């Protein structure tokens, strides 16, 4: 079988570099393109120069150049970039793995539309551990739906631009679905001042930002006389990169459709 040709958007970013290293180490894949935002100092440089071993793939801002040889684009950028890339990929039959977070409902709806023209895997967290944790939360939420206060606490590095994290929001959605409510109706994203007592039906979110924390998520079910904490901690971004490559392989024989990591990992 011929190697899967992968392009990476956000090639000089934290995830972009991690992905390029993982692709260079994979036997069944080849780096076929690299994109970054116009004006980035990385444009025109070799995508793997940071590894000290060039890939002979230049980082482009022009989508037609960066995606000319790609079967799959892996995108960890920003919502506006991801939408632009998805529109292009849908028009040219290029599959997409999307890890970008901070997507609003209308962005997700647009991606759903593009997925009618090409195969897209969209997930706020590509790690196996987080996706298994989502299944644990579904089970726990059903048992702790009454008498337990539900709080989601996440911590990330100082450079993260969105809050709460996409993973924390996904955890909230999974819990809300499991207990039969809509997250939008029960979510509390901030508390300050005289807030009054806690609404027992609420799901609270807290976001910590500092240093180089890769990504920690805890769901707290606090009852009377006991509390249960379900925690996942990432110690390296390599887990997101390996999950993304797994998703790209999963998409290889798909023509259209919107998938998530639960599909990729067979957890549905
Ligand atoms: N799903 C998952 O498993 C994970 C998701 N993420 C998410 O991935 C995204 C990227 O994270 P991270 O790598 O840490 O971020 P970085 O800021 O390190 O990288 C983002 C990259 O995207 C580029 N970029 C910025 N704006 C645009 C745009 N409008 N169009 C195209 N490219 C753009 C940046 O270029 P420049 O630097 O020049 O601005 C940079 O190269 C975030 O949304 C994060 O939450 C992160 C880890 C795991
Ligand atoms: O920005 C990050 O770093 C991460 N973002 C994702 C999120 O918002 O959930 C996934 C992971 O937690 C790292």
Q: What is the per-residue pLDDT for 220?
A: 98
Q: Look up the CATH number of domain 128-234.
A: 3.30.360.10
CA 165, 133, 220: angle at the middle one, nearest 5?
70
Q: Which of 78, 100, 165, 173 to mutate to test the pocket of ligand 2 (most atoms within 8 A of CB)?
A: 165
Domain ranges of the chain: 4-122+237-264, 128-234
CATH topology of domain 4-122+237-264: Rossmann fold (3.40.50)
CA 40, 42, 48: angle at the middle one, nearest 5?
150
Task: Please provide the distance, in angstroms rounded to a whole number, between the alpha carbons at the two ends of the chain.
Answer: 28
Catalytic option among 160, 170, 232, 242: 160
242 is catalytic: no
Mean pLDDT over all residues of the chain? 98
CB 17, CB 50: distance < 8 Å: yes
* β 119-122/203-209 pair status: unpaired
Q: What is the per-residue pLDDT for 1?
A: 75
> What is the ipTM for the molecules in this complex?
0.99
Q: How far apart are CA 72 and CA 66, in angstroms?
A: 12
**Distance, CA 100 to ligand 1 centroid (Å)?**
7
Q: How far apart are CA 75 and CA 180, in angstroms?
A: 32
Q: How far apart are CA 268 and CA 266, in angstroms?
A: 6
- Which 3 state secondary structure label does DSSP give 134? helix
- 114-146 pLDDT, tens digit per residue, is 999 999 999 999 999 999 999 999 999 999 999
Q: What is the per-residue pLDDT for 246?
A: 98
160 is catalytic: yes
Would you tell me how many other CB atoms lie within 10 Å of the CB of residue 124? 22
Look-up of token digits 């067979």: 266
Buried b (16+ CB within 10 A) or exposed e, 208-223: eeeeebbbbbbbbbee
> What is the percent of the chain with per-residue pLDDT over 70, rounded to a whole number?
100
- Classify the phi-psi angles of 249: left when phi > 0, otherwise alpha if psi is within -120 to 50, otherwise beta: alpha
Q: Is the CB of 12 under 6 A from ligand 2?
A: no
- Give every residue of the chain whose pLDDT is below 50, as ranges: none
């Amino acid at each position: 079988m011929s190697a899967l040709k992968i392009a990476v958007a956000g090639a000089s970013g934290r995830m972009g570099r991690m992905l390029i290293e993982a692709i260079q180490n994979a036997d069944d894949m080849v780096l076929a393109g690299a994109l970054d935002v116009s004006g980035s100092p990385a444009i025109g440089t070799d995508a793997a120069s940071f590894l000290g071993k060039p890939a002979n793939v230049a980082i482009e801002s022009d989508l037609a150049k960066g995606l000319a040889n790609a079967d799959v684009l892996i995108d960890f950028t920003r919502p506006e970039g991801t939408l632009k890339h998805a529109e292009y990929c849908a028009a040219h039959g290029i599959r997409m793995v999307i890890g970008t977070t901070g997507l609003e409902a209308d962005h997700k709806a647009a991606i759903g539309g593009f997925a009618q023209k090409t195969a897209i895997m969209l997930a706020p967290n590509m790690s196996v551990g987080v996706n298994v944790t989502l299944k644990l939360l579904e089970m726990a939420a059903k048992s702790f739906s009454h008498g337990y206060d539900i709080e989601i606490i996440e911590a990330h590095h100082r450079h993260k631009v969105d809050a709460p994290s996409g993973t924390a929001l996904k955890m909230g959605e999974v819990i809300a679905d499991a207990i039969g409510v809509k997250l939008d109706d029960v979510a509390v994203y901030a508390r300050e001042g005289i807030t009054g007592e806690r609404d027992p039906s609420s799901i609270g979110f807290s976001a910590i930002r500092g240093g180089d924390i890769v990504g920690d998520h805890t769901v707290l079910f606090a009852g009377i006389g006991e509390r249960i904490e379900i925690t996942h901690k990432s110690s390296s971004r390599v887990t997101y990169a390996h999950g993304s490559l797994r998703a790209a392989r999963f998409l290889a024989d798909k023509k259209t459709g919107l998938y998530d990591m639960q599909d990729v990992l067979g957890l549905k």
